[in-house]
Amino acid sequence: MGDRPVTIRTLDPPLHEFLPHTEREQRELAEKLGKTYEEIKSKVDSLHEFNPMMGHRGCRLGVTYPEITRMQARAVFTATVEAKKSGINAFPEIMIPLVGDYRELMNQAEVVHQAADEIKKESETEFDYLVGTMIEVPRAALTADEIAKCADFFSFGTNDLTQMTLGLSRDDSGKFLPYYIGKEIFDSDPFVTIDKSVGMLVKAAVEKGRKVKPKLKVGICGEHGGDPATINFCESAGLDYVSCSPFRIPIAKISAAQAAIRKKVKKKSKERKK
């Protein structure tokens, strides 16, 4: 961890992914919780969703079950205190996903701040942290000026932002995307290289957010973060960082360096013309 911030995303997967689905698992959970099997099965069935990717997940889960947000935040801050006492200057960044309205972020940020205050008091230890959000819903990008008022940072979740903007499922579109690319309907796979429509939303959100907070830290996370063309776009759009899977870090570093050099060369060229 060192002195670098550690960004932690809360509540992102749908709740049903964590629930027991077999009868044996449900009976075991019922015994542990002192509930009947029928009660557990009924609860699991009630939480089933036909389209969980756009359903009860992210901040929506935290709004309806604030105790989950509180539990996760307390765990993060408890670890922060333990790290500090071990000589590690941990600096957590709590990222609230799937926000589409600033009031969702305000709701969840309040829970996080309360958890932080509790841990500080209980441990008698002070620590710094940030609360930001994932911009992965088109509405969030278009209302980024409102969201920026209560966000310490933005991180563009380009995987979901691409799905929601293009109306494509990353899990299912492989059946027809090769045809679209082969017939030049799409120039490239939008889940590999950021699509221009998604790029427009990113640029709009950066502009709107920084009008409210000029030093707002913004970046992207997702598979796009390791794509050279996308990294070049991120540099031109004024993003501060890209996040990608570990095996793509080497190419991401090279691409980021190349993008920075191109930006400097372009700037010097403009200055010479003046």
What is the band of 64 on the pLDDT scale with cuts at 50, 70, 90? Answer: very high
How far apart are the two ends of the chain, measured CA to CA in Å?
45
**Residue tagged 């991120």 (tokens):** 234
Residues 7-62 pLDDT 10s? 555 556 666 667 788 889 889 888 988 999 888 888 888 777 667 777 888 999 99
pTM: 0.83
Residues 132-188 pLDDT 10s? 999 999 999 999 999 999 999 999 999 999 999 999 988 888 899 999 999 999 999
- d(C-alpha 119, C-alpha 125), whole Å: 8
CB atoms under 10 Å from CB of 21, counted, come to 11
246 by Cβ neighbours in 10 Å (0-12 / 13-18 / 19+) ranks as exposed
For 143-256, list the strands marked E by DSSP: 153-157, 217-221, 241-243
CA 197, 141, 153 angle in degrees (round to 5)? 125
- d(C-alpha 152, C-alpha 96), whole Å: 11
CA–centroid distance for 206 within its chain: 15
- d(C-alpha 77, C-alpha 10), whole Å: 13
Residues 203-247 pLDDT 10s? 999 999 999 999 999 999 878 988 999 999 999 999 999 888 888
Domains by residue range for the chain, with CATH: 5-13+59-273 (3.20.20.60)
In this predicted structure, the answer to whether residue 67 has a pLDDT above a threshold of 90 is: yes
